[in-house]
């Protein structure tokens, strides 16, 4: 009788050879690869496994968790490896610290169960150690760089807040135009000087010394700060550059850093002064309530002429101010003015005469002047504020003055014809 022989497909192959063939792709991998049977007994490792972990020696048939123990892997990670492999069929431990040659290196351990219906001995666990040390160092350096950048950003933000706070406080000590000029200008402000035609304004409180002798310092400070705040607000509104406060006195000039032309600068100055007079009247009851029993009266003086404007002082402290005879003249006109009046010089009067009514007071030769100066008292604007239209323009290359305001439309047509005439000349 013939005997039946039961043979499986896998019996025709050498198990070790099949394992070698299945492991071929991992043999020359740059990672440390291993293959273990389903009982976690190591059957195959590649060259890099031996190179990465020379301390292990021959690991064939060694229990893989014991290998992990020998490499110094923590008990928690070993337990995680066993649980994940048995319960889920795969495991990924992203950070496994292993000491090699007294240096800590960082690996990722990836392992998964393999299944093959034809070859039972290929049903096991295949895995690899991926050296992440250099990557980790780069990540750590990047994190340190980001952390440093965040600290730098925080420092910059703190410094910026301090600078903003400082700039805000500094703005209170400077006229807005000067503040803008300083912070917008890139060149060295220490060498900035020029000769410009300016309109200069001075004002002070009548009998201020008597007021200081009668009042308590706190109440006096309230009144003076209120007065100067109100006057400063008006000066800024009309485009004046606040030069300085001298006790109760206020000095403002028009024509620098920005100018509307000498005529409009002078008109703006007078308009500002009249607005100040009106505001002083409105606040009398308020100041009386603070202790100025007789109220506050103000004298004003205005002059026009060429001044030297720029930064003056020392290397330690500079003032952006103006120098010249118009400054002295405005101060003297202010001291000559009657209570609640404003005096202007002849130059100013000539610039504003088309729109402002004035009365001749006298001719006066101030100390240091070679000829008499005509002195005039400001009465009022000839037109209402809402009816006044500025009929001049001074730009970088063109200055225009409308000499006849009776027909503005005709003046505009004349300007258009001038434009057309110039364009024809350019086309030739």
pLDDT over 70 for what percent of the chain?
82
Rg (CA), the chain: 46
Is 172 inside any structural domain? Answer: no
The answer to the question of residue 238 being in a domain is: yes
Look at residue 98 and tell me if it is in a domain: yes
DSSP notation for 394-427: E-SS-EEE-S-TT-HHHHHHHHHHHHHHHHHHHH
pLDDT of residue 290: 85
Q: Cβ distance 88 to 80 under 8 Å?
A: no
Q: Residues 292, 213: one domain?
A: yes
Q: Are residues 75 and 195 in the same domain?
A: no
Task: Indicate whether 217 pLDDT > 60.
Answer: yes
Residue 44 falls within a domain, yes or no? yes
CB-CB contact of 107 with 130 (8 Å): yes
What's the domain count of the chain?
Answer: 2
Q: What pLDDT shows up at residue 186? A: 54
pLDDT at 74: 93
Bridge-based pairing of strands 356-364 and 318-323 is unpaired
What pLDDT score does 1 carry? 46
User: Across residues 80-92, what is the average pLDDT?
Assistant: 92
In this structure, what CATH number is given to the domain that contains residue 114? 3.30.450.20
Phi, psi (rounded to 5 degrees) for 381: -75, 145
48-83: b (≥16 Cβ within 10 Å) or e: bbeebbeeeeebeebebbebbeebebeeebbebbee
What's the pLDDT score for residue 68?
Answer: 93
pLDDT tens by residue, 155-202: 888 888 887 777 777 666 666 666 666 666 555 544 567 899 999 999
Average pLDDT over residues 276-294: 88
Q: Could you tell me the CA-to-CA distances from 48 to 27, 118, 128, 152, 346 in Å, in that order?
A: 8, 29, 10, 43, 101
Is 226 among the domain residues?
yes
Among 151-155, 195-199, 399-403, which is the least confidently predicted range?
399-403
Domain that holds residue 352: 188-390
Residues 104 and 194 in one domain: no
Same domain flag for 204 and 89: no
Residue 180 included in any domain: no
Indicate whether 300 and 378 sit together in one domain.
Answer: yes
228 and 84 both lie in a single domain: no
**205-235 CB burial, b ≥16 within 10 A, e <16:** bbebeebeeebeeeebebbbeebbebbbebb
pLDDT digits (tens, 9 = 90+) for 337-393: 999 999 999 999 999 998 899 999 999 888 878 889 999 999 988 876 655 555 566
β-partners of residue 42 are: 36
- Give the tens place of pLDDT for each residue, 103-125: 899 999 999 888 776 566 577 88
104, 192: one domain:
no
User: What DSSP designation does 266 have?
Assistant: H
Is 225 part of any domain?
yes
Domain end call among 114, 131, 148? 131
Count CB atoms within 10 A of the CB of residue 18. 16
> Taking all residues of the chain, what is their mean pLDDT, rounded to a whole number?
83
pLDDT tens readout for residues 310-342: 888 777 777 788 899 999 999 999 999 999 999
| Tens digits of residue pLDDT in 15-66 | 655 555 555 556 778 888 898 888 999 988 888 888 888 888 899 899 999 9
pLDDT at 107: 93
- Both 96 and 211 in one domain: the answer is no
Q: What is the pLDDT of residue 204?
A: 92
Query: The pTM is what?
Result: 0.55
Q: Based on the domain organization, do 127 and 195 belong to the same domain? A: no
pLDDT at 268 over 90: yes
pLDDT score at 271: 93
- 115 with 193, same domain? no
Q: Choose one of 131, 150, 168: the last residue of a domain.
A: 131
> Does residue 146 belong to any structural domain of this protein?
no
Verify that 220 and 107 share a domain, yes or no: no
Are 253 and 351 within one domain? yes
The CATH number given to whatever domain includes residue 372 is 3.30.70.1230
Q: Which residue has 């492999």 as its token pair?
A: 85
Which among 335, 333, 235, 242 is positioned nearest to 276, based on CA atoms? Answer: 235
């Amino acid at each position: 009788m013939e005997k039946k022989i039961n043979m499986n497909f896998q019996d025709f192959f050498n198990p070790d050879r099949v394992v070698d063939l299945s492991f071929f792709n991992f043999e020359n991998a740059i990672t440390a690869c291993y293959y273990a049977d389903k009982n976690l007994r190591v059957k195959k490792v590649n060259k890099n496994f031996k190179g990465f972990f020379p301390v292990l020696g021959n690991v064939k048939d060694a229990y893989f968790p014991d290998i992990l123990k020998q490499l110094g892997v923590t008990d928690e990670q070993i337990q995680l490896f066993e649980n994940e492999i048995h319960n889920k069929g795969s495991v990924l431990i992203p950070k496994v610290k292993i000491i090699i040659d007294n240096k800590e290196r960082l690996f990722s351990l990836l392992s998964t169960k393999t299944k093959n219906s034809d070859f039972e001995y290929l049903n096991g666990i295949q895995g690899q150690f991926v050296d992440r040390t250099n990557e980790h160092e780069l990540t750590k350096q990047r994190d340190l760089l980001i952390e440093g950048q965040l600290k730098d950003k925080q420092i910059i933000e703190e410094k910026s807040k301090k600078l903003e706070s400082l700039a805000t406080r500094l703005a209170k000590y400077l006229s807005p135009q000067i503040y803008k000029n300083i912070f917008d200008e890139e060149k060295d402000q220490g060498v900035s000087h020029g000769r410009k035609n300016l309109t200069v304004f001075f004002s002070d409180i009548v009998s201020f010394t008597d007021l200081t002798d009668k009042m308590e310092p706190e109440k006096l400070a309230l009144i003076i700060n209120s007065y100067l705040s109100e006057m400063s607000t008006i000066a800024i509104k009309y485009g004046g550059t606040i030069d300085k406060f001298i006790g109760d006195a206020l000095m403002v000039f028009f024509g620098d850093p920005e100018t509307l032309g000498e005529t409009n600068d002078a008109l703006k100055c007078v308009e500002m002064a009249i607005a100040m007079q009106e505001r002083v009247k409105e606040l009398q009851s308020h100041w009386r309530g603070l202790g100025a029993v007789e109220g506050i009266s103000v004298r004003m003086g205005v002059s026009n002429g060429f001044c030297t404007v720029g930064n003056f002082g020392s290397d330690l402290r500079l003032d952006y101010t103006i120098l010249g005879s118009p400054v002295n003249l405005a101060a003297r006109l202010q001291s000559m003015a009657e209570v609640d009046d404003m005096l202007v010089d002849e130059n100013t009067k000539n610039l504003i005469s088309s729109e402002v009514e004035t009365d001749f007071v006298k001719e006066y030769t101030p100390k240091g002047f070679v000829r008499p100066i005509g002195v005039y008292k400001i009465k009022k604007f000839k037109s209402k504020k809402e009816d006044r239209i500025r009929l001049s323009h001074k730009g970088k290359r063109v200055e225009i003055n409308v000499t006849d305001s009776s027909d503005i439309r005709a003046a505009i047509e004349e300007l258009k014809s001038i434009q057309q005439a110039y364009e024809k000349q350019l086309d030739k």
